[in-house]
Structure 1
């Protein structure tokens, strides 16, 4: 009788211990999941964050990073706003501002600056801006922020003039002078290198150019310079507005600017992703 009682106590204790361990494991798994930061990105930015996620530098900061690819910028921002993605890494300051203006109920918040990639004007027919003849068709991006950026570069190149209050949501209707009677063809800006075979002049972002085997500093006939006039084109990390003070998310900015990470980026992308380590006030002050 005593032996049976002892066995009963033993199995009861074992069952209780198993339940404790199961609950503990569940909590640990849940905690690990909650400590994971999902970064949404695309193209070469995705490749960079895949590298960063596996790096010893991320481990030193206690950051568990998971990447998620979303190739459409608007969808990526929407996914970030709704919480499907914690932080995104793909957009310029001007793209971010344009998105927030168009989506007042799903605003994002910038966490910090990352880099500037010069936008380039490319052509297989002409070797300089001066060679572009009257009536030439120019391909520009069909999304608001990149459309305005393209037009600003064309103005900088002396090809057009824009109205004085031109902003991130500006378009071809804001052109006040077009002396060469350029014709504009709006394209999906991820197709730039392919379109270059059919359109004489194409504006291509550097991320897309690199994927198409083009180097903005050597292959474009004109490109942005890194100065005050291009600060709206500096790329940022962004999150949902409610997460703007999240300490772990802010560590991602520090992680991106780690010297070893920067050495990797510079080598892999031939110096075309120019580091910009500035406070957000640098972009906010007009």
Structure 2
């Protein structure tokens, strides 16, 4: 009887250990799976489209990429800063610099340059810069980095003069000569395509232009050249920038496959920055 009890005890102990190891393995597997999930904020075009392209490539590397789409430029940065998201893909360095000034505890870190979206000016009324009349109304983005970008582009066309033509943080106060007496409307960047018919000229970020079926190469009056300092960045948090999953994402967005995708899909409206 003692022998029977020992055998029964050993069988129960083996079953218990097997169950424990199985549960531990399942937990470890779930933890590994969670660690390999990245949630990235992006604006719809081209950022979310590029991420959708790399998503299956990352899946093969064991990374589950979740893309959260935003239509504004504020919340993607705020939510990363508050650790609700792992990173974002929508901004350029001048925008990030301005954002950090107003968010002292910002924890966003650029980890890769992906592409340049040449900034451009559009008009539904005029076909040439020379046709823009005196007193024309010009719509520009209202965020500091992109409003400065708009003023620099206008200055390069001779439509105004700035105190320092190289200062990407220029404001309307830095205009020293406005020969056509241009009147400015500063609006949220996403709304600019919708007011194009209501103004004489609108300077529109390429992602919003493309969403509105405007081709920066074909439809603009003038456009930035290839030397633009506004490369769009993949951004991580300070605490996850070196994670294995993020390193795989960085490699994916800077891959030959993505370069070919950008060149073939956007045909010069968006240019690879790597």
Scaled by the length of structure 1, the TM-score of the pair is 0.86
Deviation at 1:108? Answer: 2.1
Task: Provide the residue aligned with 1:23 in structure 2.
Answer: 24
Task: Provide the residue aligned with 1:280 in structure 2.
Answer: none
Task: Provide the residue aligned with 1:111 in structure 2.
Answer: 111
Contact kept, 8 Å, 2:86 with 2:236, in 1: the verdict is yes
Instruction: Report the CA distance shift for 1:154/1:264 in structure 2 as closer, same or farther (over 3 A).
Output: same
Deviation at 1:169? Answer: 4.0
Task: Provide the residue aligned with 1:158 in structure 2.
Answer: 158
Deviation at 1:83? Answer: 2.2
Deviation at 1:139? Answer: 0.6
Task: Provide the residue aligned with 1:49 in structure 2.
Answer: 51
Deviation at 1:117? Answer: 1.0
Question: Are residues 1:270 and 2:267 paired?
Answer: yes
Scaled by the length of structure 2, the TM-score of the pair is 0.90
Q: Work out the CA distance in 2 between the residues paired with 1:20 and 1:87.
A: 35
Deviation at 1:270? Answer: 2.5
CA offsets per residue over residues 66-98 of structure 1, 9 Å max, x none? 222233322211222232222211111211121
Instruction: Report the CA distance shift for 1:7/1:107 in structure 2 as closer, same or farther (over 3 A).
Output: closer
Secondary structure of 1:99's aligned partner? helix
Secondary structure of 1:83's aligned partner? coil
Contact kept, 8 Å, 2:44 with 2:70, in 1: the verdict is no
Task: Provide the residue aligned with 2:34 in structure 1.
Answer: 33
Instruction: Report the CA distance shift for 1:22/1:243 in structure 2 as closer, same or farther (over 3 A).
Output: closer
Q: Work out the CA distance in 2 between the residues paired with 1:247 and 1:165.
A: 42
Task: Provide the residue aligned with 1:225 in structure 2.
Answer: 225
Show structure 2 runs of 5+ residues with no match: none
CA offsets per residue over residues 154-193 of structure 1, 9 Å max, x none? 1111111122287444322221111101111111111222
Pairwise CA RMSD: 2.2
Instruction: Report the CA distance shift for 1:244/1:30 in structure 2 as closer, same or farther (over 3 A).
Output: closer
